[in-house]
């Protein structure tokens, strides 16, 4: 099932932010990440964008795709946006280095390819 246009737009936003984070952190380890405040802020902002977009994906689409951790993504955004004093960089790094590559792959599968867009 392909997402409706509205959901597809939010999924593209999520994937774009995830890919940006992965590109930013590609040649970085945790120690370097801790020393680079600009990188930390860029990663945090990308995760916020992902969470905001996830929050806007329709409930029906979310229910149809339990392989995406919707609640976790949205909760992470809420912590970053509202409880920024409680941000734990080791947990952020774990999300980026362990979970984000798989999430990006799962989002890619959910989106129509550019050729599918042109055929419709």
Catalytic positions, written as ranges: 77, 82
Contacts with 28 (C-beta within 8 Å, 6 or more apart), sequence order: 36, 39
Is the separation of the CB atoms in 42 and 19 below 8 Å?
Answer: no
Question: 3-state SS string over the chain?
Answer: CCCCHHHHHHHHHHHHHHHHHHHHCCCCCHHHHHHCHHHHHHHHHHHHHHHHHHHHCCHHHHHHCCCCCHHHHHHHHHHHHHCHHHCCHHHHHHHHHHHHHHHHHHHHHHCCCHHHHHHC
């Amino acid at each position: 099932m392909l997402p409706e246009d509205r959901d597809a737009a939010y999924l593209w936003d999520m994937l774009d932010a995830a890919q940006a984070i992965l590109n930013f952190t590609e040649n970085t380890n945790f120690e370097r990440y801790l020393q680079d405040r600009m990188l930390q802020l860029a990663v945090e902002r990308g995760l916020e964008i992902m969470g905001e977009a996830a929050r806007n994906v329709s409930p029906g689409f979310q229910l149809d795709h339990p392989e995406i951790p919707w609640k976790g993504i949205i909760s992470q955004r809420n912590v970053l946006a509202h409880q920024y004093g409680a941000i734990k960089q080791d947990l952020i790094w774990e999300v980026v280095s362990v979970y984000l590559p798989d999430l990006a792959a799962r989002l890619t599968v959910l989106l129509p390819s550019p050729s599918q867009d042109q055929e419709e």
